[in-house]
Structure 1
Amino acid sequence: MRVLAVAARELPAGTDPSTQRRDVEQDLHLRGLVGLYDPPRPEVAAAVKRCHEAGLTVHIVTGDNGATAAAVARAVGIGVPNLHVVAQSEAIDDHELDRLLRKEGTEIVFARSSPETKLKVADALREHGQIVAMTGDGVNDAPALHRAHIGVAMGRSGTDVAREASTMVLTDDNFATIVTPIESGRRVYDNVRKFIVYIFAHLTPEVVPFVVFALSAGTVPLPLTVLQILAIDLGTETLPALALGRERAEPGLMSRPPRPSSQSVINKDMLVRSWGWLGCVSAALVMAGFFYVLWRAGWHPGDPTGPGTPLHHAYLTATTATFAGIVSCQVGTAIAARTDHAALRDIGFFTNPLLLAGIAFELVFTAALVYAPPLQNLFGTAALPLDVVLLIAIFPPLVWGTDEIRRWARRRRNP
């Protein structure tokens, strides 16, 4: 609390206090003490807790007295369990500042600080490889706001200079608002990775048919045509891929430590999952469907399947099964890509209606290419019999199920 003493004195009639202030402020009689308490906003403590859960460190740089600032810090959970108070921040040298900021698990109150102190703290944290977000509202805060990676200015009480120097402006002047874009940024980053996993996973089942054809020296006919690949890449996979960008956040998103600034969006684990796991499972299923149709028609390796041969229609049906099988595996991949670590039940199957609409579109589009005669002639497809349709229908749960098992095993190793 900031304490004010209230005192009074009776003046003779006709006395002008404004011209005799020094004389008037004598012989006063104490009436009492008034404590002015400016409490932290109720939501700040919860916001600080979420920052800590997300691996963020919160320091206070203030011109207030150290005891006052420390009391406020403890009230909102800053510095729990380790709080270090620098009572006279202007007197601290660079070596001592570096030593303090290197302490793990310690949050610091820089009291009796000047605007230059904010700048020194921002520079020191940047030198240590930290991503720095700095808040401020005054003209003197502008250099520190500009130097930080993310300058955060107060929209209501802040000056125009502070707002111009900042990256983000809080229109409600509320610290808790800072946590929301942190969560949104992590969700967007995750969704970009999900989009990439979904797109990359289809490369393997598209490439494997050509590899099989090449390695067999033509003994195995080409399982997929170029136009069918274009129909997949430009038609069926577009809407589900875009819908993954609107996926809700996974549970535990704000419990992860911050990712290193040097970390790439695409890493080895993503490639292993998309090309090596989802892609290989899809490729195996797709090729199984292709060979099932051919062998059912009596085909043997090396038998001719060109136009005019007895097996030509079976070959068209087999390539159609390959095309439809990749689309079916896309459905399973889209469901699997919705989560990177958590189980699907943790986010709910129906929580992304845009993805469900995208899947419905690709299924309708595929059915049109398979069963509409004008499109059959254009894309080299043939109507699929019921048993092939039923075989392809089990591909989505197989693709999603195998990835669900992989994520379950991963959670067992790394809870």
Structure 2
Amino acid sequence: LGSTAVICTDKTGTLTQNRMRVTDAWTCAGPVELDRPTGIPAVTRLAAAMAACNNADLDSGDPTEVALMRASGTLGVVVTPRERERQRLRQFHFDPALRLMSTVDTEGDRRVVNAKGGPEAVLSRATRILTPEGRSRALTEKDRADFIGVTRGYAARGLRLLAVAGRELADGEPVPARREDAERDLVLYGVVAMFDPPRPEVAGAVARCHTAGIRLIVVTGDHPLTATEIARQVGIAREDTTVLTGEQLEKMSEAELDHLLRAHRELIFARSSPEVKLRIADALRAEGNVVAMTGDGVNDAPALRRADIGVAMGVAGTDVAREASTMVLTDDNFATIVTAVQAGRQVFDNVRKFIVYIFAHAMPEVIPFLLFAISGGKIPLPLTVLQILAIDLGTETLPALALGREPAEPGLMDRPPRRRGENVIDAAMLGRAWGLLGVTSAALVLGGFFFTLLSGGWRLGAPVGDGTALHHVWVQATTMTFLGIVACQIGTAFASRTQLASLRAIGPFSNRLLLWGIAFELAFAALVVTVPPLQYVFGTAVPSWQQLLILLPFPVLVWGLDELWRWYLRHRHARAAT
């Protein structure tokens, strides 16, 4: 999620609220007034077909069909679901590839095919048009041009369009068993335009995507002008945004599609089928992009499975789409996808913070042993094995876990997506953990160790074993090493909280779990140093107050050097950006 580079999103219900309302309708008689029954036969026929070719009621069902039922009721045609089922002889469900649905129904002693779908799909199957008087005549080229002009006008306003048509079966003609036989020689009744308002939070989410370097591609079955207008309203489309239809895409070669996706950052694919989604996902992934693809239908399952992150709709989606997806949106909201991407980036960052904190303490634990080995034992061990276990299993555990719950760092969504093959651990991260934080901690810890030894009278090669005069001094010195590492852990914990931002930007007290973890760390270290049974087990002794004063600046020095390094990185990035 955190490395998502491209989001291919649907329009209806994702960018919009999926709350359809019929705002306009048109028949051969002209624009339809939708506030009352008109008494015009052509309008009544349109309303009857809208109610018959439908599977919703006034309160439940697909939002598009609910809107059609309410509009038909306003126009004077009220059909109950039970009555509709009794009159239905056959149904051909909506086909996203054909963009068409049809039913065969009885109306009195007649048998009628009722169809609705995309204006282009319906128009291509129509040979006649309904006159205002309710009769049909041949569909002329002028009629086709008028119809196309009306649909373009509605679509340019961002309205969703459905054309409605039908035909009466001749006496003796059997009920069609195939949709090809039913959906032919249709009589064009008119077109219905619905308004589906954009979600108010989507524009902000789109802006966050732009600052985060995430490409947005709209893949929808709606009219190109409708998709473009809605995309413009939420901030996806610009004046130069390229819009293609599924038909145009089908004519493109793979090389042409690859060039298109490379040359244009924002794209709109309208009148698209599930097969188009699959092809787009494959092409984007072939270019090395991490792709998130939304879908809700059964036929969307292959594209959801093929994308890096398949995003199914939890409200309007099918069970098949949810099973094929990686993530399910319980609110079907595009803004939730962006929030999930941010959460993915946050989790990835927190894993890195955890690792930086753990790795940084390897240096002050390893370097003392190297000094002991290189000196041939002339420098005594600065740290015992049990003291290392007390650090690794005791003092550093809770702060490390608390870093995994760190809030999002400022500027998290101002960075470009990370590369697909980028590792959690990289050279820059190791340099910071081992080179900056680790070496600084090791230098401070060894300084405290040698200060304690030298002030106690030790000289190079002097014995410090049990029973010698310097044994207690050496125990105090190893205790100083132990406490020095604990003090440096505190500075490292605060330094690890951000990768670039300053500590002031997030607030030093904003992670309460880390504060509790540090409190536990200090309490545990105090017990190890002061409680006699634990002193015996871990080989510690209480340092003098002068020695303890040496430890006080350790956290500030470790954190301060890292803060200066992050300040340098921020200014270098700012100069590079300008």
Q: 1:367 aligns with which of 509, 520, 526?
A: 526
Q: 2:509 aligns with which of 344, 347, 350?
A: 350
Query: Which residue of structure 2 aligns with residue 205 of structure 1?
Result: 364
For residues 132 and 430 of structure 2, what CA distance do their matches in structure 1 show?
82
Map Cα deviations across residues 367-391 of structure 1 (whole Å, 9 max, x no partner). 1111111111111111110011111
Map Cα deviations across residues 186-236 of structure 1 (whole Å, 9 max, x no partner). 001000000000000001000111111111112211111111111111111
Map Cα deviations across residues 171-196 of structure 1 (whole Å, 9 max, x no partner). 11111111111011100100000000
Query: Which residue of structure 1 aligns with residue 39 of structure 2?
Result: 8
For residues 93 and 274 of structure 1, what CA distance do their matches in structure 2 show?
49
Is structure 2 residue 443 aligned with structure 1 residue 284?
A: yes
For residues 17 and 209 of structure 1, what CA distance do their matches in structure 2 show?
94
Q: How far off its partner does 1:46 sit?
A: 1.1
Query: Which residue of structure 2 aligns with residue 326 of structure 1?
Result: 485
Query: Which residue of structure 2 aligns with residue 160 of structure 1?
Result: 319
SS at match of 2:293: strand
SS at match of 1:102: helix
Map Cα deviations across residues 113-145 of structure 1 (whole Å, 9 max, x no partner). 222111111111111111111111111211111
Which amino acid in structure 2 is aligned with residue 39 of structure 1?
P
Contact 1:90 1:114 in 2 (8 A): no
SS at match of 2:206: helix
Q: How far off its partner does 1:332 sit?
A: 0.7
Contact 1:202 1:326 in 2 (8 A): yes
Q: How far off its partner does 1:35 sit?
A: 5.1
Query: Which residue of structure 2 aligns with residue 54 of structure 1?
Result: 212
Q: How far off its partner does 1:398 sit?
A: 0.8
Correspondence 1:128-147 to 2 at 5 A: 128-147=287-306
For residues 237 and 191 of structure 2, what CA distance do their matches in structure 1 show?
31
Q: How far off its partner does 1:280 sit?
A: 0.6
For residues 24 and 284 of structure 1, what CA distance do their matches in structure 2 show?
89
Q: How far off its partner does 1:27 sit?
A: 3.8
- Provide the identity percentage: 60
Query: Which residue of structure 2 aligns with residue 169 of structure 1?
Result: 328
Q: CA RMSD in A?
A: 2.3
For residues 426 and 192 of structure 2, what CA distance do their matches in structure 1 show?
60
Is structure 2 residue 414 aligned with structure 1 residue 255?
A: yes
SS at match of 2:203: helix
For residues 318 and 81 of structure 1, what CA distance do their matches in structure 2 show?
71
Contact 2:313 2:332 in 1 (8 A): yes
Which amino acid in structure 2 is aligned with residue 57 of structure 1?
R
Structure 2: stretches of 5+ with no match in the other structure: 1-21, 27-31, 33-37, 43-105, 114-127, 135-189
Query: Which residue of structure 2 aligns with residue 83 of structure 1?
Result: 241
Query: Which residue of structure 1 aligns with residue 280 of structure 2?
Result: 121
Contact 2:350 2:405 in 1 (8 A): yes
Is structure 2 residue 241 aligned with structure 1 residue 220?
A: no
Contact 2:311 2:325 in 1 (8 A): yes
Q: How far off its partner does 1:92 sit?
A: 3.4
Corresponding residue pairs, total: 408
Contact 1:61 1:109 in 2 (8 A): yes
Q: 2:461 aligns with which of 284, 292, 302?
A: 302
Contact 1:17 1:24 in 2 (8 A): no
For residues 289 and 83 of structure 1, what CA distance do their matches in structure 2 show?
64
Which amino acid in structure 2 is aligned with residue 78 of structure 1?
I
For residues 384 and 347 of structure 2, what CA distance do their matches in structure 1 show?
35
Map Cα deviations across residues 263-292 of structure 1 (whole Å, 9 max, x no partner). 000000111111111111111111110111
Q: 2:428 aligns with which of 269, 285, 296?
A: 269
Contact 1:119 1:144 in 2 (8 A): yes
Query: Which residue of structure 2 aligns with residue 179 of structure 1?
Result: 338
Moved more, 73-82 or 347-356: 73-82
Query: Which residue of structure 2 aligns with residue 97 of structure 1?
Result: 257
Moved more, 1-10 or 340-349: 1-10
Map Cα deviations across residues 12-63 of structure 1 (whole Å, 9 max, x no partner). xxxx97557899954449xx99853212111111111111111111111122
For residues 193 and 353 of structure 1, what CA distance do their matches in structure 2 show?
19
Is structure 2 residue 538 aligned with structure 1 residue 383?
A: no
Cα distance change, pair 210–37 in 1 and its aligned pair in 2 (3 A): same
Query: Which residue of structure 1 aligns with residue 80 of structure 2?
Result: none
Q: How far off its partner does 1:74 sit?
A: 1.1
Query: Which residue of structure 1 aligns with residue 146 of structure 2?
Result: none
For residues 347 and 359 of structure 1, what CA distance do their matches in structure 2 show?
18
Structure 1: stretches of 5+ with no match in the other structure: none
Contact 1:118 1:144 in 2 (8 A): yes
Which amino acid in structure 2 is aligned with residue 337 of structure 1?
S
Which amino acid in structure 2 is aligned with residue 150 of structure 1?
I
SS at match of 2:294: strand
Contact 1:209 1:224 in 2 (8 A): yes
Contact 2:296 2:313 in 1 (8 A): yes
SS at match of 2:337: helix
For residues 100 and 384 of structure 1, what CA distance do their matches in structure 2 show?
70
Q: How far off its partner does 1:8 sit?
A: 3.4
Cα distance change, pair 81–287 in 1 and its aligned pair in 2 (3 A): farther
For residues 567 and 224 of structure 2, what CA distance do their matches in structure 1 show?
49
Q: Normalising by structure 2, what TM-score? A: 0.67
Moved more, 211-220 or 226-235: 211-220
Which amino acid in structure 2 is aligned with residue 49 of structure 1?
A
Contact 2:41 2:132 in 1 (8 A): no
SS at match of 1:110: strand
Contact 1:8 1:28 in 2 (8 A): no
For residues 117 and 241 of structure 1, what CA distance do their matches in structure 2 show?
46
